[in-house]
Amino acid sequence: MNDPVNSNVDVATKSSYPMMMNLGQDLNYTCNVMQVDSYGWLVNNTWDGVMALYAKHKVDLLLHGTSMRADRMKYVEFTTELCTIDTPIIFRQPSLASISNIFVLPLRLDVWRACIVAMIVVWLLMLSQYIYPEVRQRMSYLDIVGFICGAACQQATHLDSHLRKTSGRILVLTTFFLALFVFISYSANILVLLQSPSHVIKNIDDLIASPMRLGLQDARYVRFNFRYENVSILKHVYQTKIKPYGEHGWIYDPAKGVERVRTELFAYQLESATAYKLIKETYSDDEKCSLSEITILRVPRLTATIARNSPYKELFRQRYGVYVDKS
Identify the CATH number of the domain in which residue 253 sits.
Answer: 3.40.190.10
The domain tally of the chain equals: 3
Stretch among 63-67, 104-108, 162-166, 296-300 having the lowest mean pLDDT? 162-166
Any domain includes 4: no
What integer best gives the mean pLDDT of the chain? 83
Cβ-Cβ contacts under 8 Å for 278 (sequence gap 6 or more): 8, 254, 255, 258
Q: Check residue 257 and give its pLDDT.
A: 93
Mean pLDDT along residues 46-52: 85
190 and 201, same domain (yes or no): no
203 and 289, same domain (yes or no): yes
Round to whole Å and give the CA distance between 315 and 307.
Answer: 13
Q: Where does a domain end: 150, 175, 194?
A: 194
Are 37 and 51 contacting, i.e. CB atoms less than 8 angstroms apart?
A: no
Q: How confident is the model at residue 130 (pLDDT cuts 50, 70, 90)?
A: confident
Q: How far is CA 276 from the centre of its chain?
A: 11
Domain range enclosing 59? 11-84+300-326
Q: How confident is the model at residue 164 (pLDDT cuts 50, 70, 90)?
A: low
Round to whole Å and give the CA distance between 151 and 172.
Answer: 9
Stretch among 176-180, 300-304, 323-327 having the lowest mean pLDDT? 323-327
Rg (CA), the chain: 34
246 and 314, same domain (yes or no): no
Q: Where does a domain end: 159, 194, 229?
A: 194
Q: How far is CA 143 from the centre of its chain?
A: 55
pLDDT above 70: residue 216: yes
Any domain includes 102: no
Question: How far, in Å, are 89, 121, 122, 146 from residue 142 at the CA level?
Answer: 62, 16, 14, 6
Cβ-Cβ contacts under 8 Å for 8 (sequence gap 6 or more): 273, 274, 277, 278
134 and 163, same domain (yes or no): yes
Mean pLDDT along residues 153-157: 76
189 and 203, same domain (yes or no): no
183 and 206, same domain (yes or no): no
290 and 209, same domain (yes or no): yes
Any domain includes 2: no
Any domain includes 103: no
74 and 31, same domain (yes or no): yes
Q: Check residue 293 and give its pLDDT.
A: 92
Are 95 and 74 contacting, i.e. CB atoms less than 8 angstroms apart?
A: no
Backbone phi, psi, residue 216, to 5°: -115, 145
Closest CA to 60 of 310, 303, 304, 318: 310
Q: Check residue 224 and give its pLDDT.
A: 84
Q: Is 301 helix (H, G, I), strand (E, B) or coil?
A: coil
pLDDT above 90: residue 279: yes
Any domain includes 215: yes
Q: Check residue 38 and give its pLDDT.
A: 79
Start-to-end CA span in the chain (Å): 18
199 exposure class (CB count in 10 Å sphere: 0-12, 13-18, 19+): exposed
Cβ-Cβ contacts under 8 Å for 292 (sequence gap 6 or more): 90, 91, 92, 93, 199, 201
Q: Where does a domain end: 132, 160, 194?
A: 194
268 and 304, same domain (yes or no): no
Q: Check residue 213 and give its pLDDT.
A: 92
68 and 41, same domain (yes or no): yes
Any domain includes 140: yes
202 and 182, same domain (yes or no): no
Any domain includes 279: yes
Q: Check residue 5 and give its pLDDT.
A: 60
207 and 229, same domain (yes or no): yes
Taking the CA atoms of residue 201, residue 270, residue 39 and residue 73 in that order, the dihedral angle to the nearest 10 degrees is -30
Any domain includes 33: yes
